[in-house]
């Protein structure tokens, strides 16, 4: 069941902010609960939240809960754009691509992460660049698929797609 008032209050917490630290997010969510009369609602944390510089949040109406989870800053979003462009403009093998992604994310100040370039990992890319991604992989190069998952400790998993022998 949608919670438009709560969703709007959560949006206000993050509106215009590059990064909201987890403790600040929990405090602001509790203030929103109090202001809206959500007395039976709770705040829970996803794994890795307190190890993350930035937080994000999601409403679970059926549980009367808001989950706080690791988020990413604008610096990391920009770093991901650099990674996409860098891997598409060069033909990097697996080791070089992993090193490049690791370097860019570390320089951008990423929270704990790891890079996967597994043959069973995700394959794909933005719909408007998919043919370019596929051609790059077919040429023997790796591309950045993105950060669709986190592990059980909340570390972001950055995925590469490329050829395998």
- Taking the chain (165 residues) in runs of 10, the rounded mean pLDDT of each run is 90 92 97 96 92 91 94 88 95 96 92 88 87 95 85 86 87
**Domain identity same for 103 and 54:** no
Whether residue 53 sits in one domain with residue 87: no
pLDDT at 34: 97
Domain boundary among the residues 70, 102, 126 is at: 70
Q: Are residues 46 and 80 in the same domain?
A: no
Do residue 62 and residue 117 come from a single domain?
A: no
In this structure, the answer to whether residues 87 and 40 fall within a common structural domain is no
What pLDDT is recorded for position 47?
86
Query: Does the predicted TM-score (pTM) go above 0.75?
Result: no
Q: Are residues 122 and 135 in the same domain?
A: yes
Identify whether the C-beta of residue 144 lies closer than 8 Å to the C-beta of residue 83.
yes
Are 41 and 119 found together in one domain? Answer: no
Domain count across the chain: 2
78 lies in the same domain as 61: no
Three-state SS for 156?
Answer: strand
Task: Return d(Cα 159, Cα 165) in angstroms, integer.
Answer: 18
Say if residue 45 is in the same domain as residue 108: no
Closest by CA to 87, choosing from 72, 75, 104, is: 104
Same domain, 28 and 97: no
The range of the structural domain enclosing residue 61 comes to: 4-70
């Amino acid at each position: 069941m949608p919670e438009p008032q709560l969703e709007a209050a959560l949006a206000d917490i993050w509106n215009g902010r590059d990064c909201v630290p987890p403790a600040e997010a929990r405090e602001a969510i509790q203030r929103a609960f109090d202001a809206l009369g959500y007395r039976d609602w709770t705040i829970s944390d996803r794994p890795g939240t307190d190890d993350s510089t930035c937080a994000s949040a999601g409403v679970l109406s059926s549980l009367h809960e808001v989950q706080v989870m690791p988020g990413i800053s604008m610096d990391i979003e920009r770093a991901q754009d650099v990674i996409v462009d860098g891997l598409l403009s060069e033909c990097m093998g697996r080791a070089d691509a992993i090193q490049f992604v690791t370097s860019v994310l570390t320089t951008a100040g990423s929270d704990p992460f790891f890079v996967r370039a597994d043959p069973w990992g995700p394959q794909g890319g933005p719909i408007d660049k998919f043919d370019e991604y596929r051609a790059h992989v077919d040429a023997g190069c790796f591309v950045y698929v993105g950060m669709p998952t986190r592990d059980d400790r909340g570390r972001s998993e950055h995925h590469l797609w490329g050829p395998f022998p």
